[in-house]
A and B are shown apart, each in its own frame.
Chain A
Amino acid sequence: GAVVSQHPSWVICKSGTSVKIECRSLDFQATTMFWYRQFPKQSLMLMATSNEGSKATYEQGVEKDKFLINHASLTLSTLTVTSAHPEDSSFYICSAAYSGGLDSYNEQFFGPGTRLTVL
């Protein structure tokens, strides 16, 4: 159980175009979804936190007008990279978590990631 999928797994686009990445929780309803960015040999950096039906909360330094996040349902969140530039090339990973459960720890379940290359 607790499977998170991302689509697409990789995408190549031209500079100036927009790219949408989907994150889905397949077998549970996610109260919260997170978006991370990971550069080669670097750690995961949290970009934003989103709750279903609410505006996303962005981390300091992340441009909310550039990285549009929509969390339309309890199983789907999307990240749109607008007017992409080569420096936006990275590995984008989402995770999903739900409230409650028997355990005291609310695990984040990670998707497989999306590799974005902007030419």
Chain B
Amino acid sequence: QKEVEQDPGPLSVPEGAIVSLNCTYSNSAFQYFMWYRQYSRKGPELLMYTYSSGNKEDGRFTAQVDKSSKYISLFIRDSQPSDSATYLCAMSPYTGANSKLTFGKGITLSVRP
């Protein structure tokens, strides 16, 4: 079993839809949970991070962590064509400049106008 599993894609939704992206993990040491967005042939950019369990909202994006179920989600409200990208979840057991990230496989989202 891989440490981080991400729902397979690709995912195609109409503009304005609510998108739910999910990851599960097996390592109970993970404390920091991140969502990255990656456009084609570009490096990932951090969308949101969450420490431990709970919800965090930033504009149209909401990150949710359920440590008891080892399950994290990213919700995108009112999705836009500009949200079309690959979304990767990432996790780390601690923070600090040396903290290693374990990534999910990524899911490609396409938002149709």
Contacts and interface: CB of A to CB of B under 8 A. Distances in A.
Interface residues of A, number: 30
Contact of A105 (B6, B43, B45, B95): B95
Given A43-B103, A105-B51, A112 B42 contact: yes
Contacts of B95: 104-106
A54 B6 CA distance: 34
B103 A51 contact: no
Contact residues on B (Cβ < 8 Å of other chain), bracket: 20 to 34
Interface in A4-58: 4, 6, 30-32, 34, 41-46, 49, 51
A74 B44 CA distance: 21
A110 B104 CA distance: 16
Interface of A: 4, 6, 30-32, 34, 41-46, 49, 51, 91, 93, 95, 97-99, 104-108, 110-113, 115
Given A49-B98, A49-B100, A110-B44, 9 more contacts: A6-B43, A31-B98, A34-B100, A43-B6, A51-B98, A91-B41, A98-B97, A105-B32, A106-B97
